[in-house]
Amino acid sequence: MKEGPLDQLIRALAGLPGLGPRSAQRVALHLLTQREKSMKPLMAALEQTAQSVRTCGICGNLDLSDPCRICADPRRDSAVICVVSGVAALWAVERTATYRGQYHVLGGLLSALDGIGPGDLRIEPLLRRVTENDVKEVILGLSATVDGQSTAHYLTDRVTAAKPGLKVTRLAHGVPVGGELDYLDDGTIATALRSRAAL
């Protein structure tokens, strides 16, 4: 039997992150029954963003303008750059509304297993930003995984070699807000204990 538009819609939705076949059917049904309220505004938003989305030439963020709104904002502190692996991590930090510096998207992490080397990431543009501008601190906002930590070590060596005296920091690893100690893994507790802070 030939696949109709409704099957295509469900298949396209099921391919999205976080949605499986069942939730894709639920979303499709919602859109079909709420054509005016949900489906048409979604169509318009998809159409507009598909046409105008850009990768920021400075930081690598995805936005409707290049430079992106963060890089173009004069109220942001251009002396601090937070390095993240991808746009999802950038948006996650931005959601906290506590960070007022700028970003640099690497486009991944170094990984010997996946064959990702320094040339595959946006490391040279980062070194240029750090040396050519008045950057005083680089925050390594990378994940607490083997690849995240080896990327952090590599970047620390490269940026401090490119600009001696530059402050390089990383996010603290520890007990999550609302986290019960007895549910945490030993590595998290050990790291939290080592990086404990005075009150």
Q: For Zn ion, which residue of 13, 71, 81, 105 counts as binding (CB under 5 A)?
A: 71
Judged by beta carbon, residue 104 or residue 170, the one nearer Zn ion is: 104
Distance CA 103, CA 58 (A): 9
Q: Could you tell me which stretch among 4-12, 47-55, 68-76, 160-168 binds Zn ion (CB under 5 A)?
A: 68-76
* C-beta of 56 vs 81, nearer to Zn ion: 56
Residues 6+ apart with CB under 8 A from 32: 6, 39
Distance of alpha carbon 157 from the chain centroid: 22
* Cis check: omega of the bond before 67, within 30 degrees of 0: yes
Residue in 107, 143, 144 with CA at minimum distance from that of residue 122: 107
Of how many residues is the chain composed?
199
Binding residues for Zn ion, how many (CB under 5 A)? 6
Q: Report, in Å, the least distance between residue 38 CB and Zn ion.
A: 31
The answer to whether residue 142 forms part of the interface with Zn ion (CB under 5 A) is: no
Residues 37-66, interacting with Zn ion (CB under 5 A): 56, 58-59, 61
Query: Least distance to Zn ion from the beta carbon of 63, Å?
Result: 7
Q: Dihedral, CA atoms, 79, 80, 83, 88, nearest 10 degrees?
A: -110
Under the binding rule (CB under 5 A), the answer on residue 105 touching Zn ion is: no
If one counts every other C-beta atom within 10 angstroms of the C-beta of residue 191, the result is 16
Cβ 59 to Zn ion shortest distance, Å: 3
The binding site for Zn ion (CB under 5 A) comprises 56, 58-59, 61, 68, 71
